[in-house]
Amino acid sequence: MIIKRIKGLSGEISIPGDKSISHRSIMLGSLAKGDTEVYGFLQGADCLSSISCFKAMGVDIENDGSKVIIHGNGLYGLRKPSDILDVGNSGTTIRLMSGILAAQDFDVRVDGDASIRKRPMGRIMNPLGLMGADIRSINDNGCAPLAISGRKLKGIHYESPVASAQVKSGVLFAGLYAEGETSVTEPYVSRNHTELMLKDFGADIRTVDKTVTVAPAKELYARRIDVPGDISSAAYFIAAGLIIDNSCITIKNVGINPTRDGILEVCSMMGADIIVEEINNDSAEPVADITVRTSSLRGCVIGGELIPRLIDEIPVIAVMACFAEGTTTIKDAGELKVKESNRIDTIVNNLKAMGADIEATDDGMIINGKGDLKGASIDCKADHRVAMSFTVAGLNADGETDIVGSECVDISFPGFFDTLNMLVF
Ligand code: S3P
């Protein structure tokens, strides 16, 4: 995909449904009794991988592209799949599903693409192992493919060394089947969609500070789910609207769960012209319309508890920082190294190729805003968030930017380029 500088962006858009909530809707819907209807489901490749895995375990899931209906088989209704479960590129599918598979009465193998085969699974194998699970990395390297033999599990209290919603959720799912309560304490609170949704589906779950505790469940009950727009997808348009001259964009119906809204805090630290208009609703997942206008940004320091609240937005925040006055420091973000690509490397190397003043650190990066970038060929390492972030960079750079392998945007945002084109003038 070739990107050129544009004059400005203007208009109103909706963005696809939240990826995290869409995955969880399939998993909880499959384990619940009754029919779960999901509106606004993200039809991205990652969430379709979750659908195909649960279909392969005998769950009847209808997806007509606008609504997904999951005819749940109940907590004990999954069947042994006839083949290896393929999670594609989806870390969320493999880590959350491992917690469920660890407690079934069958054996299964789980695998994914080349990126998944490099991502650490020890972080989920360790706590599940403490619960009595039998999970083996087939190549003995702590990564997929995994061989999981279902076992009777026992509840544990787990102090997670990382703030990871995938780890927390995998352990909580296993906890539904365990003997006794299961709790997870995190260094910082990660996204809490699993907790909110489990409660909604009837589980006995409570959160005190950074600890979540779930009791074993007898049954989960089907629910209607309205998936809000994904703030991680909105982030590309927030950034583009702020850094590109003559721009004003409204993004409708964006989920602004406080465990996910770190980018809004960064926008206000950077002095952005942004209006967040909360839509009145009773849902546990708050939703807002967000309007951004071209702004003079200033650098800021991003670290600590903010990191899990914006971890997926760091690639595009780094692009914003190139156009901010002064220095932006991103720290405490070592987790970036184990995402779909090593995002410290992919961000820093590609922004350097575009002429940015940026240095990698062990747990993040330091960016001195220069106010300009030049077009370059971008190797996004098949990482969807890197492809979209550098598209935003290319829109505000001199010359041409070539996003090599841009089709990976379909992982989380099918129609990304069409949505963008609707705003260009
Ligand atoms: C996710 C959790 C985060 C995030 C990922 C989705 C989830 O990963 O980066 O895109 O849905 O639970 P970690 O749990 O590895 O931080």
Q: What tens-digit pLDDT sequence spans the chain (425 residues)? A: 999 999 999 999 999 999 999 999 999 999 999 999 999 999 999 999 999 999 999 999 999 999 999 999 999 999 999 999 999 999 999 999 999 999 999 999 999 999 999 999 999 999 999 999 999 999 999 999 999 999 999 999 999 999 999 999 999 999 999 999 999 999 999 999 999 999 999 999 999 999 999 999 999 999 999 999 999 999 999 999 999 999 999 999 999 999 999 999 999 999 999 999 988 767 789 999 999 999 999 999 999 999 999 999 999 999 999 999 999 999 999 999 999 999 999 999 999 999 999 999 999 999 999 999 999 999 999 999 999 999 999 999 999 999 999 999 999 999 999 999 999 99
CB 286 within 8 A of CB 257: yes
**Same domain membership, residue 236 and residue 118:** no
Active site residue 372: no
CA of 146 to the centre of ligand 1 (A): 19
**Same domain membership, residue 166 and residue 39:** yes
Domain-ending residue, one of 176, 209, 226:
226
| Catalytically annotated residue among 18, 46, 86, 312 | 312
pTM over 0.95: yes
**Same domain membership, residue 234 and residue 218:** no
**Same domain membership, residue 71 and residue 32:** yes
Whole-number Å distance between alpha carbons of 238 and 316: 9
Whether 115 lines ligand 1, by a CB cut-off of 6 Å, is no
Helix boundaries (H) for 245-383: 262-269, 314-322, 343-353
* Burial of 136: CB neighbours in 10 Å, binned 0-12, 13-18, 19+: middle
Tokens found for residue 292? 């951004």
**Same domain membership, residue 90 and residue 52:** yes
Report which residue type is found at 236. Y
**Same domain membership, residue 276 and residue 160:** no
**Same domain membership, residue 109 and residue 238:** no
Q: What is the DSSP letter of 221?
A: B
- Residues in CB range of 335: below 8 A, 6 or more apart: 162, 163, 164, 307, 311
Tokens found for residue 354? 């575009």
Whether 307 lines ligand 1, by a CB cut-off of 6 Å, is no
Asked whether the bond before 127 is cis by omega within 30 degrees of 0, the reply is no
**Same domain membership, residue 261 and residue 333:** yes
Whole-number Å distance between alpha carbons of 384 and 176: 32
**Same domain membership, residue 263 and residue 205:** no
**Same domain membership, residue 261 and residue 204:** no
The owner of tokens 């995002």 is 343
Whether 311 lines ligand 1, by a CB cut-off of 6 Å, is yes
Whole-number Å distance between alpha carbons of 331 and 304: 8
Strand partners, 373: none
Looking at residue 303, which CATH number applies to its domain?
3.65.10.10
Range of the domain at 221: 19-226
Whether 22 lines ligand 1, by a CB cut-off of 6 Å, is no
Number of structural domains found in the chain: 2
CB 298 within 8 A of CB 153: no
**Same domain membership, residue 63 and residue 113:** yes
Domain-ending residue, one of 161, 193, 226:
226
Domain-ending residue, one of 200, 226, 252:
226
CA of 164 to the centre of ligand 1 (A): 6
Question: Across the beta sheet with 377-379, what order do the strands follow?
Answer: 2-4, 400-404, 377-379
365 backbone dihedrals φ, ψ, rounded to 5°: -165, 160
